[in-house]
Amino acid sequence: MVGLQSISTMNMCHKGTDWNREYSSIANAAVNYSFSHVPLFDGDLNNDGIDDKEDIIIGQYYTAAMFISMAYHESGFIGKNNRGSNGADVCLMQINSGNVFRITSGWTANEIEADYEKCFDLGYKSLRYSFKRGGNLTSRLMDYTSHRRRLALTRCRTFTVVTGLSFNKWCN
Ligand SMILES: [Ca+2]
């Protein structure tokens, strides 16, 4: 019941939104950004014993999948007029007003919301920082989720669903 109420409230707030167009813009921004940047994932990703261009392409695909997995949990893909934590968190990736990459970008909240690639850029930088922790993917997501393991675990699980990778190997 609470779930249904939330959904109908959400629909009322976003009346008139062309969702087919929005989802297509989100997917395009995630892919464009990922395929023009150094991937978040490196190494021998296809396990063929060599690090080569194919691993970079797989890493970029995983990066796009990571954006989509994070955006799903952070914002439910509602990137506009969706400010969490009393207005501090903005866009698909819910980037906090205290986020160092957001501060140094000089972009306003409205600018970040209006441009999905700007949002993914801040998400990418935050994820790269978070990944420095090392370990499995759940561990690497811990900084992004403010050290809440349960949240890191759910995001990691979604990433394995999107990519078809092993949850036990990557997240557990
Ligand atoms: Ca390889």
**CA 139 to ligand 1 center in whole angstroms:** 23
**CA 58 to ligand 1 center in whole angstroms:** 9
Number of domains within the chain: 1
- Would you report the helix, strand and coil content of the chain in percent, each value rounded to 5? 60, 0, 35
Name the region of 49 (left: φ>0; alpha: ψ -120 to 50; beta: rest).
left
Average pLDDT over residues 75-100: 95
* Residue 93 φ/ψ, nearest 5 degrees: -95, 0
Instruction: Let me know if residue 89 belongs to a domain.
Output: yes
pTM (2 d.p.): 0.89
Instruction: Let me know if residue 95 belongs to a domain.
Output: yes
pLDDT in tens, 24-53: 999 999 999 999 999 999 999 999 999 999
**CA 44 to ligand 1 center in whole angstroms:** 4
Question: Which residues 6+ apart lie within 8 Å of 117 measured at CB?
Answer: 29, 32, 33
Q: Sorting pLDDT into bands at 50, 70 and 90, what band is 18?
A: confident
Instruction: Let me know if residue 87 belongs to a domain.
Output: yes
Instruction: Let me know if residue 82 belongs to a domain.
Output: yes
Instruction: Let me know if residue 158 belongs to a domain.
Output: no
Q: Sorting pLDDT into bands at 50, 70 and 90, what band is 7?
A: very low
Instruction: Let me know if residue 150 belongs to a domain.
Output: no
**CA 59 to ligand 1 center in whole angstroms:** 10
Average pLDDT over residues 66-73: 97
Q: Sorting pLDDT into bands at 50, 70 and 90, what band is 20?
A: confident
At residue 82, the 3 state secondary structure works out as: coil
pLDDT in tens, 150-172: 999 999 999 999 999 999 999 99
**CA 39 to ligand 1 center in whole angstroms:** 14
Classify strands 95-96 and 89-90 as parallel, antiparallel or unpaired.
antiparallel
Residue 58 pLDDT > 50: yes
**CA 36 to ligand 1 center in whole angstroms:** 20
* Residue 108: domain span: 22-132
Please name which of 160, 40, 43 lies closest in space to residue 152, comparing C-alpha atoms. 160
